A and B are shown apart, each in its own frame.
Chain A
Amino acid sequence: MNKNLQLIDLIYPQSRTVSIVGTAKNAGKTVTLNEIVHQGEQRGITVGLISTGRDGERRDVLTDTEKPPIFVSRGTVLATVESAIKSDFAGIEILRVTDYHTPMGRVVLGRTREAGYVEISGPHSSATIRELCREMKQYGAELILIDGSLDRRASAAPFVSDGTVLATGAALSRNMQQVIEKTLHIINTYAIPTVEDENARDAACEAFESGRTALVEADGRVQYLETLTSLQCGGMISEKLNPDTRYVVLSGSATVETIKDILLNKKSSFEIVVKDPTRIFIPAKDYPILQKLGMVLRVMENINIIAVTVNPYSPEGYYFEPEELLNRMRIAVPHIPVYDVVQGE
């Protein structure tokens, strides 16, 4: 990897909407976000900021004891909340007051009139986030950064953002090897191959649209099933499997239970298709078992991981040797650039 390449060079202008997702609380997401904002501003890019709703991570702001952690320059477009438009933060020109409510007031689109700290906010649903991203672009934002909350990796979904920067670090585990393995698992899940067969893709689109399950057979015949809750859909799907089944399209989530139900009843080999990797909820430890049962997972669209950032510090008071963590992560994911934004490398 070219050592002189900065994070921003990997992001812009190839991607215009990028989500920053943390593998754990305090994995370094905010540092990463600040760094990208800073690098973007130095290149003269108008940045837009939005978050996938508060997740209580920054309780300090609720009690008004600390400044919000993102520092931006004048002219930044952002989604913030009513209560954060006050004199101790950067002055914000209000562009539009939206109808999305948060515990901190309504979500407001604004533009900073001076450099300073800002509070980023946003609606919960990914469809509305996408809508607001479009609007921020109209207000002049050239690069939109989505601050993805822990429990809302959906912001990484390909239909919301063009790519994702994954922030990971010591906060994920006390054991460095585990940090690397867990991170690798997320990366591998995000990179699951897409389904190629056109016929299966058409059926999948139809299934996602109507919220049904689709079974595609070798001759192209498609059977749609009304599967109301994904919790019990495994059993329903199992009954319909036959020796010609080639694809099972799940419109909901891929959970261990559902997939087990399906695989234990398989009468042929087939691929299981979900919309995108954010719909996959399979812990690393269950993967090998499911693979032995014959699981072949495919997605309609996978997630473009632009870079990984590592944070060697944990707020619980332990650290890893920064160089070692960085190097081992680079070896583990040779195809993705890895940065230590805390150390500035």
Chain B
Amino acid sequence: MLLDHRTRKLLELDRVLAELHPITPFGQQVKSEMKPYLPPEKAELMEELDRVEKLKELVDTQRSVFVEIRTAMRQVKDIRKSVERCMTGCVLSSVEFFELKNLVYLVRIMSESQKTLHWAMPDKYIIQELQWVEEILDPEKTGLKTFYLYDSYSPELYRLRKQRAEAEQKLDLLRKEVIKRVEADLEMAIRTNGEITISKGQTELIKKLQGYRYLLVINETYINMTFRVKPTDEMYKLMSAIEELRGEEAVEEARILEQLSGKVAVRGAEILRTMDAMGEFDLLTAKAYLANTFEAVKPEIRDEPVFNLKQGRHPIVEAGLKKRGKDYTPINASLKEGATLITGANMGGKTVSLKLLGLMAAMAQYGLLVPAESLVLSMQAFIFLSAGDEQSIDLGLSTFGAEIQSIKEALEKSDRSGMILIDELARGTNPQEGFALSAAIISYLMKKPCITVITTHFDGLVKPGVKHLQVNGLRNIDCSRIKNPEHISEYMDYTLIEIEGDAVVPRDALNISRLMGVPEEIVKTAEELLGNGR
């Protein structure tokens, strides 16, 4: 497993993946099954990254084609269940055939658009036209998206429907004739449905109508009597013929549905394959769109353990800043196997920068382009982050206990090529023991094959063989110019710079405390205690 649940959450990988928007149900499924590539799959990862980069370029140069494909994709429904059912020998309903016909229509639009892309895409992504389904479901080649068992499906269906229509027409004529005759005989108007209602007060008339051979009593209340014109023998014959034809038609329709289902079932696998391809292409396109949104580049994958980031940006933090009208300061970092320390000012973004490193590595292995100017890295077997985490504390461990628990886990993994990121090592205990423990852990990890990055406030942990990155911080700023604590972030220089040789950890804690409004008396006392009243 590349990431455990906690690291994944701390890196905010899921929030990055939430920005990935495949459109079709198939694409969404492929996304939900997305797994990171692991070191043995280097070749596959490189191919995937090449494809995403290629597609990103196509999205830029042939945008209208993608607009067309994605418009069609929005209308696609998941009909895999119907196709699978059909393949097991079930008969599909008219509604299911309608949906299949619609899919085929959309597939044609997508397929034609796909062909215009300047890319020799692998088979996996090719949305194959389903011309043969169209031929089955649109025998008259009308190009309509609607579905009905049209007369042209079988000569028998045509014959039955024609006969029934003729019979119905004849029956209608006869009914009108009889009504006319009755109206003439009785000199009374009869309603179009062939009924007439007479008040019981008209006893004479009722008697007369009851004796009249072409009327039937169909309803009687204490007020009224309703009569209906009696069908003639010929009409009865027609009525039963119509019923008969209706029955035969139902049988014929069922036969046609069965036949169509059979034809679809034989090549059902092709339909399923088309939907799979649609899902793959959908997700790949979503990755390309995401790369565009993030202004991301293709990471370069190396065999030797290396991590060289230029102008990397944490996309979630960047988006949050942008909303508030602020800019994100891109970070450079070049890491190698062994230990690297990040030191620097409080509020200098050490934690965000540490998480950025992990996120970049994770995104790359998920086959995503990364928001940076460039990133050269090796693939990791695992990425592990230990940082302030409420969850473990909930389990009943103290802050320190939780941290040590997670660091122990990290140390167990350190013999494999991976990435260990520790935020504020030994932050939860007294400075003397914390320092000693940190020094020992760094000594241990610097000899290991994994890439370790640790942020710390402790002086003196840097030693030969340990890389040292420092936040520029408020170094070049005259703190007296900052009047409002909310402006600290504006003066803060989040850039990481590489320090060679000895360097002290910058002391900004008191400055920042003063800016944030801690009483002057306290800050003064603290400065005196430090003995460097600067």
Query: Do A108 and B95 form a contact, CB below 8 Å, given A88-B250, A343-B197?
Result: yes
CA distance A177 to B197 in the complex (A): 24
Q: Would you list which residues of chain B between 131 and 164 have a CB under 8 Å from chain A?
A: 146-149, 161
Contact of A82 with B95 in the complex, beta carbons under 8 Å = yes
Is B148 a contact of A94 with CB atoms below 8 Å?
yes
| Contact call B98/A97, Cβ cutoff below 8 A | yes
Determine which of B99, B149, B192, B222 lies in contact with A91 in the assembled complex, contact meaning CB atoms within 8 Å: B149
Among candidates A91, A115, A322, residue contacting B224 with C-beta atoms closer than 8 Å:
A322
Residues A92 and B197 in contact, CB atoms below 8 Å apart: no
Q: Is B93 part of the binding interface, using a Cβ–Cβ cutoff of 8 Å?
A: yes
Number of A-B contacts (CB under 8 A): 49
Whether A319 lies near B148 (C-beta < 8 A) is no
User: How many Å lie between the Cα of A270 and that of B250 in the bound state?
Assistant: 65
Q: Does A93 contact B (CB under 8 A)?
A: yes
Contact B222 A319 (CB under 8 A): yes
Smallest CB separation, B284 vs chain A (Å) = 27
Residue of A nearest to B164 (CB): A114
**Minimum distance in angstroms from B395 CB to a CB of chain A:** 38
Assess whether A94 is in contact with B95, with CB atoms less than 8 Å apart.
yes
CB distance from B176 to the nearest CB of A (A): 13
Docked Cα-Cα span, A95 to B223, in Å, equals: 47
B93 cross-chain contacts in A, Cβ below 8 A: 82, 85
Determine if A85 and B94 form an interchain contact, defined as CB atoms under 8 angstroms apart: yes
A108 to B249, CA, bound (A): 23
Q: Does A321 contact B (CB under 8 A)?
A: yes
Q: A-facing mask of B12-50, CB < 8 A → 1, else 0?
A: 000000000000000000000000000000000000000
A106 in contact (CB, < 8 A): yes
- A88, A91, A313, A344: the one contacting B191 at CB < 8 Å is A344
Q: Please, which residues of chain B bring their CB within 8 A of the CB of A322?
A: 223-224
Distance of A144 from chain B, by nearest CB (Å): 19
Q: How far is the CB of B239 from chain A (nearest CB, A)?
A: 15
Say whether B221 faces chain A, with CB atoms less than 8 Å apart. yes
**B373 near A: Cβ within 8 Å?**
no
Query: Please, how many angstroms separate the alpha-carbon atoms of A94 and B145 in the complex?
Result: 9
A113 within 8 A of B: yes
Check A14 for interface membership: any CB of B closer than 8 A: no
Residues of A326-345 contacting chain B, CB below 8 A: 343-344
B48-95 residues at the A interface, CB under 8 angstroms: 77, 93-95
Shortest CB–CB separation between residue B152 and chain A, in angstroms? 13
Known: A92-B148, A94-B148. A85 touches B95 (CB 8 A): yes
Give Cα A92–Cα B147 distance, bound, in whole angstroms: 9
A82 to B197, CA, bound (A): 38
B198 CB, min distance to chain A CBs, angstroms: 11
A87 at the interface (CB under 8 A from B): yes
Q: Is B300 on the interface with A (CB-CB < 8 A)?
A: no
Q: Is A94 a contact of B149 with CB atoms below 8 Å?
A: no
Cβ–Cβ < 8 Å partners of A113 in chain B: 148
CA separation between A108 and B95, bound complex, in Å?
8
Q: What's the nearest-Cβ distance from chain A to residue B222, in Å?
A: 7
Tell whether B258 is near chain A: CB-to-CB under 8 Å. no
Inter-chain CA distance A97–B100, complex, in Å, is: 11
A107 vs B221: C-alpha distance when bound (angstroms): 40
Return the CB mask of A37-50 against B: 1 if under 8 Å, else 0: 01000000000000
B147/A94 in contact, CB under 8 A? yes
Expressed in whole angstroms, the Cα–Cα distance for A209 and B430 within the complex equals 59
Interface flags for A60-96 (1: CB within 8 Å of B; 0: not) read 0000000000000000000000100101100111110
Interface assignment of B253: CB less than 8 Å from any CB of chain A: yes
Task: Collect the chain A residues with CB atoms within 8 Å of residue B222's CB.
Answer: 319
Distance (Å) between the CB of A256 and the closest chain B CB? Answer: 39
Nearest CB on B from A88, distance (A):
7
Name the A residues within 8 Å of B161 (CB-CB).
Answer: 114
Provide the residues of chain B in CB contact with A85, threshold 8 Å. 93-95
Cβ < 8 Å to B, chain A residues 278-333? 313, 319, 321-322
* Residue of B94, B191, B221, B249 contacting most chain A CB atoms (<10 Å): B94
* CB of B60, distance to nearest CB on chain A (Å): 34
Q: Is the CB of B221 within 8 A of A319?
A: yes
Complex formed: what's the CA distance from A248 to B412 in Å?
Answer: 70
Which positions 85-126 of chain A face chain B at CB distance < 8 Å? Answer: 85, 87-88, 91-95, 97, 105-106, 108, 111, 113-115
- With a cutoff of 8 Å between Cβ atoms, the chain A residues found around residue B94 in the complex are 85, 92, 94
Q: Name the CB-closest residue of A to B221.
A: A319
B251-308 residues at the A interface, CB under 8 angstroms: 253-254
The docked-state distance in angstroms from the alpha carbon of A343 to that of B161 is 35
Q: Name the residue on B nearest A91 (C-beta).
A: B148
How close is B157's CB to chain A, nearest CB, in angstroms? 11
Contacts of A97 in B (CB 8 A): 77, 95, 98-99
Residue numbers in B under 8 Å from A91 (CB-CB) = 148-149
Closest chain-A Cβ to B363's Cβ sits at a distance in Å of 34
| Chain A: CB-nearest residue to B251 | A87
Closest-CB distance, A69 to chain B (whole angstroms): 14
CA distance A97 to B75 in the complex (A): 11
Please indicate the chain A residues that have their CB under 8 angstroms from the CB of B146 in the complex. 93-95, 111
Encoded as 1 (CB less than 8 Å from any A CB) or 0, chain B from 345 to 369 comes to 0000000000000000000000000
In the complex, what's the smallest C-beta–C-beta distance from A137 to chain B, in angstroms? 17
| Distance, CA A172 to CA B99, complexed state (A) | 44
| B222-234 contact mask (Cβ, 8 Å, vs A): 1 or 0 | 1110000000000
| Cβ–Cβ contact B223 & A321, under 8 A | yes
Partner of B95, one of A88, A106, A111: A106
What residues of chain A lie closer than 8 Å to B98, measured between beta carbons? 94, 97
Q: Please, how many angstroms separate the alpha-carbon atoms of A106 and B93 in the complex?
A: 13
- Complex: A95 Cα to B95 Cα, angstroms: 10
Which residues does chain A contribute within 8 Å of B224, judged by CB atoms?
322
CA distance A234 to B99 in the complex (A): 50
- Chain A residues positioned under 8 Å from B148 (CB to CB): 91-94, 113
In the docked arrangement, what's the CA distance between A116 and B222, Å?
33
B413 to chain A, nearest CB (A): 48
Q: How far is the CA of A317 from the CA of B246 in the complex (A)?
A: 35
CB neighbours (8 Å) of A321 from chain B are 223
Nearest A-chain residue to B191, judged by Cβ = A344
Contacts of B221 in A (CB 8 A): 313, 319
A134 to chain B: closest CB distance in Å?
Answer: 18
Q: Provide the bound-state CA to CA distance between A97 and B79, in Å.
A: 13
Q: What chain A residues lie within 8 Å of B250 (beta carbons)?
A: 87-88
User: Which residues from chain B contact A95 at a C-beta distance below 8 Å?
Assistant: 146
Q: Which residues in A have their C-beta under 8 angstroms from that of B246?
A: 87-88
A173 to chain B, nearest CB (A): 18
Least CB separation from A313: chain B residue: B221
Question: Which residues from B are CB-within-8-Å of A111?
Answer: 146
Residues of chain B with a CB closer than 8 A to A313's CB = 221
Binary flags per residue of B191-235, CB closer than 8 Å to A gives 1, else 0: 110000100000000000000000000000111100000000000
Residue numbers in B under 8 Å from A92 (CB-CB): 94, 148
Question: What is the CB-to-nearest-CB distance from A81 to chain B, in angstroms, rounded to a whole number?
Answer: 10
* Cα–Cα, bound, A105→B223 (Å): 43
Complex Cα gap A91–B249 (Å): 11
Q: Offer 27 A-B interface pairs, CB within 8 angstroms, sorted by A.
A: A38-B192, A82-B93, A82-B95, A85-B93, A85-B95, A87-B246, A87-B249, A87-B250, A87-B254, A88-B246, A88-B250, A91-B149, A92-B94, A92-B148, A93-B148, A94-B98, A94-B148, A97-B95, A97-B98, A105-B95, A111-B146, A114-B161, A114-B165, A313-B221, A319-B221, A322-B223, A322-B224
Supplied contacts A94-B148, A322-B224, 10 more A-B pairs, CB within 8 Å: A38-B192, A82-B95, A87-B246, A94-B94, A94-B95, A94-B146, A108-B95, A115-B168, A319-B222, A322-B223
Cβ-closest 4 pairs across A and B: A93-B148, A87-B250, A94-B98, A94-B147
